Chains A and B, each alone.
Chain A
Amino acid sequence: MENEFFLNAGVPLSLHFESSASMPMWHSLSSAMEIQGTEVNCLSEQSQDCFLNPNWEKSADHGVHFDSALSSMVSSPAASNTNLSNDSFVIRELIGKLGNIGNSGDISPHSQPLLASYIGGNTSANTSCYSTPLNSPPKLNVPRMDHLVKENLPSLGKSMPLNSSVADFSADPGFAERAARFSRFGSKSFNDRTSQFGIKNTDVSCRSYLPMDTEGLPRVSSSPSLNALGSQMGAQENNISPLQDRTELANSQEESTVSEQIPKGETGLKGSNDVNSRKRKTASKGKAKEATKAEEANDKSNAKRCKTTEANGNENGPVKAEEETKGSTRCAGDEKQSKSSTKPPEPPKDYIHVRARRGQATDSHSLAERVRREKISERMKLLQDLVPGCNKITGKALMLDEIINYVQSLQRQVEFLSMKLASVNTRMDFNMDSLMISKDIFRSNNPSPHAIFPLDSSASAFYGHHPQQNPALHTNVSNGTATQCPVDPLNTAPCQSLGVQLPPLNGYSESVSQYPMYGEDDLQTIVQMGFGQNTNGETAILQPRRFHVSDQATHAKVEL
């Protein structure tokens, strides 16, 4: 049965090879899925038939068949995995063909979503929710799908809007499961794409797909369907990045599921990709290039979930195999390489992405890319901790925005504070120097807030207010004033005088003893002492700490 489809679709039989194995998975998946589609379950059986054959053959019937087939597939929990898996391939083919048809607007909205969801579901649970793997031309009457499709599968250039159905698929918790599994396997061929997808299908289905893609090089390269699939896969992958931002999901649950799946899939895939790549380093340059490109593209798309998915898709589309010529050559090259190098590759790696970039991860270029990406993400995480309010922001662009704003605000604050300090500077006369010093120490020693009055407006009322604070302060102040040394009150000269004038330095013998050493180190020590006592002083920007400068000033004057 399945074979038929593929044959009909021009897809090599090997494709569904494991569809039987995948079937159970799909089955569970589909059962778990929340299917919006009300259609039914006949799909599993019919799907292949009506779906593949008639659809392909009759353009006119496409919509209808798709509709029924997709809906049944999507909605029916009974839908076999194989159906889905097969259908995914089939769908892609169909989509490719339908693309033309779709343009004409024949495809019914229903079928389109189903198709989209189908494809999305097959390829990635995550993507299905958010994006339609196919680009849907505006001609299609399904705006949502168009949007999704466009973004998702620019490569295909088909106009199959795959909104709702995709969403349905993605909502399936089974997808998440598969995605997790997929990520574990770390599709090496799909380095970035798969990671982004976060595991679209079960491993089995992946396997089934991949082998076809990678091993069937000649077939793959020759068959446009594969290219379409590949592009689809690529596009879907790209879509994953925007997936998270999509809010087009019919179900919030789907969205949540998808979002869960996506990070899961992504992280898992990335990790697995790394592992795989490291394990195998047989990737060829061509593969590496594609992988790198894909990685970069995927990376970028990941980084910018909300953004320009189309752009990503476009990039990936061509890369993947959007243009058949390009894609075919690339695919062929990659496939060949992957075939040779990925003898042992894990089937799950290949399974979703028709692109079949097996061994991509093992390429030195892709490895380097991955390392680079991880470095960047590591640092972005550090920054996320640093910049307040960035916990929920994902994506490089948004994070950069936040970082830029934060740095600008900090610089503005510094500017403002420096202006304030400058005004204080100008206002004060040379006594300020000693005042400053004493203030530093005073501040540190004085836990209770006191109003700090500038010398100009000093009032003797506070003179004896805080005897504890005064000693250190007026020691300094007296030194400063005594020496009348505007230049360096902290010089040793004042220190000497300080030593002489130490009336009430009872509690501050410490500081006093340190004064004689006065140089910068000592000042630092003094300040530290002060700070040590007042650990919160420096950080309590908003806490008023006031000192009676006037006390010191007056006291100093009195002493003098």
Chain B
Amino acid sequence: MASSISETNFEESKRIKRRKTGDELRDPDTIDHTRWRSESEQRIYSTKLFEAIRQVRRNSSPVNKVSSGRDIQDAADRVLAVAAKGRTRWSRAILASRLRLRLAHNNKKHKKARLAKVTGSIRSKMPEKKRFIPALQRKVKVLSRLVPGCRKVSFPNLLEETTDYISALEMQVRAMAALTELLTGSPVDRLASTSDS
């Protein structure tokens, strides 16, 4: 795949260059986006996710509150961030945010943000033709909000983060779907909800 080829180039340059943390100088070569596709990565993730979910359940049972989807999602995101080994900005942001934000706060934030993003992206399509700067900038902003921890990242780095984030999300979806399927005994249809057993 093209990305893998570019990745090798990146890796080489990475070895040569010193990685810089600044946005502008960040070395994109350090990130290998193809690793999210590997089976082993998914296995590792599934394992950890499983553990995390058990923990969530355990933690929530004393309180006698139903483990909400949000909890699971947070756990899944956290595990995903751990799997990323902190190389990417979004993974670090996820790990950092867990320490700061409360779940409820996250719920509100994310839901609002998501709604805003949806509408924002829709809105951005309308004035496209009128003003070209805002359209692009708006989309960049929307995207930066979608990817955790990337609100003030430069555009090229944002794209880099997005690439890794998309790969990681795909893996997360695969792993969670497999796990759900395993647990519920029914195939999980990605596009439609299946009945829970």
> Which residues 316-343 of A sit at the B interface, judged by CB distance below 8 A?
none
Known: A386-B167, A421-B179, A545-B182. A411 touches B58 (CB 8 A): no
The answer to whether A425 touches B57 (Cβ under 8 A) is yes
B68 within 8 A of A: yes
CA A426 to CA B57, docked complex, whole Å: 7
The answer to whether A397 touches B47 (Cβ under 8 A) is no
**Which A residue's beta carbon lies closest to that of B165?**
A407
Known: A433-B54, A487-B58, A541-B174. A385 touches B3 (CB 8 A): yes
Q: Of A376, A425, A457, A527, which is within 8 A of B159 by CB?
A: A376
The answer to whether B163 touches A410 (Cβ under 8 A) is no
The answer to whether B72 touches A544 (Cβ under 8 A) is no
> Which residues 102-139 of B sit at the A interface, judged by CB distance below 8 A?
114, 117-118, 121, 124-125, 128-133, 135-136, 139
Q: Which residues of A contact B82 (CB under 8 A)?
A: none
Q: Which residues of B contact A426 (CB under 8 A)?
A: 57, 66-67
B175 within 8 A of A: yes
The answer to whether B131 touches A436 (Cβ under 8 A) is no
Question: What is the 8 Å Cβ interface bit string for chain A, positions 398-441, against chain B (1 contact, 0 not)?
Answer: 00110111111011011111111111111110001101110110
The answer to whether A425 touches B162 (Cβ under 8 A) is no
A443 within 8 A of B: yes
The answer to whether B28 touches A432 (Cβ under 8 A) is no
Q: Which residues of A contact B135 (CB under 8 A)?
A: 304, 307-308, 397
CA A457 to CA B70, docked complex, whole Å: 26
B16 within 8 A of A: no
- Most B CB within 10 A of own CB, among A308, A372, A400, A532: A400
Question: What is the 8 Å Cβ interface bit string for chain A, positions 508-526, against chain B (1 contact, 0 not)?
Answer: 0000000000001001100
The answer to whether A543 touches B187 (Cβ under 8 A) is yes
Among the stretches A40-48, A174-182, A446-454, the one at the interface with B is: A446-454
**Size class of the contact patch on chain B:** 35 or more
Q: Of B3, B68, B124, B132, which is within 8 A of A422 by CB?
A: B68
The answer to whether A437 touches B50 (Cβ under 8 A) is yes
CA A406 to CA B166, docked complex, whole Å: 8
B21 within 8 A of A: no
> Which residues 351-386 of A sit at the B interface, judged by CB distance below 8 A?
372, 375-376, 378-383, 385-386
Q: Which residues of B contact A414 (CB under 8 A)?
A: 73, 76-77, 169, 172-173, 176
B91 within 8 A of A: no
Q: Which residues of A contact B63 (CB under 8 A)?
A: none
Q: Which residues of B contact A437 (CB under 8 A)?
A: 50
> Which residues 151-197 of B sit at the A interface, judged by CB distance below 8 A?
155-156, 159-160, 162-163, 165-167, 169-170, 172-190, 193, 196-197
The answer to whether A416 touches B129 (Cβ under 8 A) is no
Known: A303-B136, A311-B132, A421-B180. A453 touches B185 (CB 8 A): yes
The answer to whether A397 touches B76 (Cβ under 8 A) is no
The answer to whether B43 touches A436 (Cβ under 8 A) is no
Known: A385-B2, A535-B39. A454 touches B44 (CB 8 A): no
Q: Which residues of A contact B186 (CB under 8 A)?
A: 452, 544, 546
The answer to whether A531 touches B139 (Cβ under 8 A) is no
Known: A397-B139, A422-B72, A537-B178. A417 touches B173 (CB 8 A): yes
B69 within 8 A of A: yes
**Which A residue's beta carbon lies closest to that of B72?**
A418
CA A405 to CA B6, docked complex, whole Å: 25
The answer to whether A454 touches B184 (Cβ under 8 A) is yes
B1 within 8 A of A: yes
B84 within 8 A of A: no
The answer to whether B181 touches A544 (Cβ under 8 A) is yes
CA A426 to CA B69, docked complex, whole Å: 10
Query: B19 → chain A, closest Cβ, in Å?
Result: 16
CA A381 to CA B117, docked complex, whole Å: 23
Known: A386-B163, A440-B47. A541 touches B188 (CB 8 A): yes
Known: A385-B2, A426-B67, A528-B40. A308 touches B131 (CB 8 A): yes
Q: Which residues of B contact A406 (CB under 8 A)?
A: 166
CA A376 to CA B162, docked complex, whole Å: 12
Q: Which residues of B contact A420 (CB under 8 A)?
A: 69, 180, 184, 188, 193, 196
The answer to whether A304 touches B143 (Cβ under 8 A) is no
Q: Which residues of B contact A486 (CB under 8 A)?
A: 58
Chain B interfacial positions (CB closer than 8 Å to A): 1-3, 6, 28, 33, 39-40, 42-44, 46-48, 50-51, 53-54, 56-58, 66-73, 76-77, 114, 117-118, 121, 124-125, 128-133, 135-136, 139-140, 142-143, 146-147, 155-156, 159-160, 162-163, 165-167, 169-170, 172-190, 193, 196-197
Q: Name 6 A/B residue pairs within 8 A (Cβ), A-sorted.
A: A304-B128, A307-B129, A386-B163, A400-B139, A425-B56, A545-B181
